[in-house]
Amino acid sequence: MSKGTFPEGAQLEAQISGRRRKGVYLRLAFLGSLMLAILALLTLLANIINSAFGLVAFENAVAPAALVEEIGLDPARIALSDLSKDDLLAVLEGGINNNVGRRLERERRFYSDRLVFETRAKWDEVCAREVDRPAGCDGRVRGREDVYSLVVEQVVQPKALETWSLVDSVLHRAEIEAAAAVSYPDAEIVFRSWLSMDFVTNPQSPRAEVAGVRTAVLGSLWIVLVTIVFSFPVGVAAAVYLEEYARRTRLNRLIQTNINNLAGVPSIIYGMLGLAIFVRVLETFTSGAVFGGVDGGVTANGRTVLSAGLTLGLLILPIIIINAQEAIRAVPQSLRSAGMALGATQWQTIRAHVLPNAVPGILTGAILAVARALGETAPLVVVGASTFITADPGGPFGKFTALPIQIFQWTSRPQDEFRNIAAAAIIVLLIMLLALNATAIVLRNRYARRA
The predicted model gives 327-354 an average pLDDT of: 89
Which one of 76-80, 100-104, 232-236 scores highest in mean pLDDT? 232-236
Q: DSSP H helical segments within 137-213, as ranges?
A: 144-151, 166-171, 173-183, 197-201
Is the dihedral angle over the CA atoms 342, 348, 350, 355 positive or is it negative?
A: negative
Residue 300 confidence (pLDDT) above 70: no
Question: Concatenated DSSP letters for 77-146?
Answer: T--GGG--HHHHHHHHHHHS-HHHHHHHHHHSBS-SS--SSS-HHHHHHHHT-SSS--GGGG--B--HHH
Using alpha carbons, select from 284, 274, 329 the residue that is nearest to residue 307. 274
The pLDDT of residue 443: 78
Selected residue with higher pLDDT from 405 and 300:
405
The answer to whether 336 and 240 are in contact (CB under 8 A) is: no
What is the DSSP secondary structure assignment for residue 191, as one 8-state letter? E
Tens of pLDDT, residues 176-224: 999 988 988 888 898 999 998 888 988 888 888 888 899 899 999 999 9
The answer to whether 213 and 425 are in contact (CB under 8 A) is: yes
Burial of 379 (0-12, 13-18, 19+ CB in 10 A): buried
Question: Concatenated DSSP letters for 254-278?
Answer: HHHHHHHHHTTS-HHHHHHHHIIII
The predicted model gives 11-26 an average pLDDT of: 90
Tens of pLDDT, residues 386-435: 778 877 887 888 888 889 999 988 988 888 889 999 999 999 999 998 88
Reported as a pLDDT band with limits 50, 70 and 90, residue 299 is low
Helix crossing, 416-450 with 214-240: angle to 10°?
30
The pLDDT of residue 297: 47
Q: How far is CA 5 from CA 1, 20, 239, in A?
A: 7, 21, 52
Residue 451 confidence (pLDDT) above 80: no
Residue 234 confidence (pLDDT) above 90: yes
* CA neighbours closer than 13 Å in the CB half-sphere of residue 221: 13
Tens of pLDDT, residues 63-99: 888 888 888 888 888 888 889 999 999 999 888 888 8
Taking the C-alpha atoms of residue 371 and residue 103, their distance in angstroms, rounded to an integer, is: 36
pTM: 0.79
Tens of pLDDT, residues 112-138: 888 889 888 888 888 887 777 787 887
The answer to whether 211 and 204 are in contact (CB under 8 A) is: yes
Tell me what percent of the residues of the chain surpass a pLDDT of 70.
96
What is the DSSP secondary structure assignment for residue 160, as one 8-state letter? E
Q: What is the overall mean pLDDT for the chain?
A: 87
